[in-house]
Amino acid sequence: MGAGFKNIIPGIHKPDTIATTGATPSQQTKLLELFENRNLIKRELDQVTAERDALRDELESLRSHHQESQRQLSNLEQMLADAERGQSAIVYYRLRAVWDTCRQQLRLLADDLNRRFEKAERSGFEQDSSRGRSRHLDELAQQFDKLERERRNLRNQLGELQQQLAGLQKFWHKSKREILQFQIDKLTRQFKPIETKKLELLAAMEALRNQKLQVWPGISIASKRTVNLWLLALAQYLYLHLTEYSIAEMARSAGTKVIADVHFGLLQDCLTIGNHIYEVVVKLRSDKSRPDKLRFRTEHLRTLVSYASDQATVPEESCLEYIPQTSRAAPTIDTEATAVAVNVLRLNYWDIQSILLQPSEPAAAALPNAAANKEPVLADAG
């Protein structure tokens, strides 16, 4: 068996290969177990090897990030040690804080509005989905009842014909018996397709009862457009407030560049910028009419924007080349004042491009409901 065993192992793939070696059933079973254990160990080894390689790649990435962080920290320490460059670094981080704060405000507004619309639309979607399934079950049940009535009618007709046949036993009733028997056979053949159809309906109803409700596809296109208009209105509002002393432009530099790539001037320049940042931020925080300004700006944008397609949720950039200014006497839009030539979407102010709600991919077909078929309006989103 020693020579036979050596010849078996390299070519073992399936039981037929083993059976040709003349091994006993017990030996074949052991060889199969050995082969299965070998495959199991190989799969586990491949999995462990893949996990090890992934951990190595992650370790290398972390090492690179650590080295880069150490390099940046060393450069920052050298910068802070210099009086003038140190003040520029301080201004950089204060401006970056302005950028991050504005971005966070956009994210909070997006989450809040998305949550409101989801609460309003999701319950309606689930109710429509449940009603749709109930309606389908009712239709199947009605079809089943109709078949059951047809079956009872056939059974009654068959019983009547059989009774008539039982009363025609004389030899001169032969022709009548043949006619009745033909009708009985014809009725009997109609039972099988009815029973088959009933079984199919029962199976369909059971499958429908066990079927999960439709997966929530997310808020509607109209709702996403409304959320995005509020976000664009907020981005414009923040820009207008921070455009004083060019704080918005400097904040964008700090938010999109590394510290080594920006310089905000000499010591006195940096101190002046720091005072301007404080002044502008205080004004922004103390603006009590912010909710009304956002509402009017959102409604104004709604009249201006256009979309590339029916499924698009983000307006075309060409609609946002100018920012209309807010009236000095009221929170409304001042249509007579000169608009500011800045496109917050194209320039990606406050990282808005990553915050705007995009259409689902692929777009899920939600059940129709009132909320999805009209433009929603939120009066107190600000």
**CB-CB contact of 269 with 90 (8 Å):** no
CA–CA gap between residue 92 and residue 99 (Å, rounded): 10
- pLDDT 10s digits, 134-181: 677 778 788 888 888 888 888 888 888 888 877 877 777 778 878 888
pLDDT at 77: 64
Predicted pLDDT of residue 11: 43
For 122, the 3-state DSSP assignment is helix
Q: Which residue has the higher pLDDT, 131 or 62?
A: 62
Cis peptide bond N-terminal to 362, omega within 30: yes
List Cβ neighbours of 120 (8 Å cut-off, separation of 6 or more): 371, 376
Residue type, 119: K
DSSP state of 257: S
Are 326 and 293 contacting, i.e. CB atoms less than 8 angstroms apart?
yes
Alpha-carbon distance 306 to 313, whole Å? Answer: 10
Give the model's pLDDT for residue 173: 75
Task: Place 214 in a pLDDT band, splitting at 50, 70 and 90.
Answer: low
Q: Is the pLDDT of residue 372 over 50?
A: no
* pLDDT at residue 227 greater than cutoff 90: yes
CA angle 219/378/104 to nearest 5° reads 75
Mean pLDDT of 196-215: 77
User: Taking 60 as the threshold, does the pLDDT of residue 320 lie above it?
Assistant: yes
| pLDDT value for 381 | 54
For the entire predicted model, the pTM comes to 0.60
**Averaged pLDDT, 308-337:** 90
Structure tokens at 283: 């004004």
Name every residue whose Cβ is closer than 8 Å to that of residue 369 and which is 6 or more positions away in sequence: 121, 124, 125, 128
pLDDT score of 33: 85
> Tokens 């921070």 belong to which residue?
242
- pLDDT reported for residue 365: 39
What single-letter amino acid sits at 23?
A: A
3-class DSSP assignment, residue 214: coil
Q: Of all residues in the chain, what percent carry a pLDDT higher than 70?
A: 80
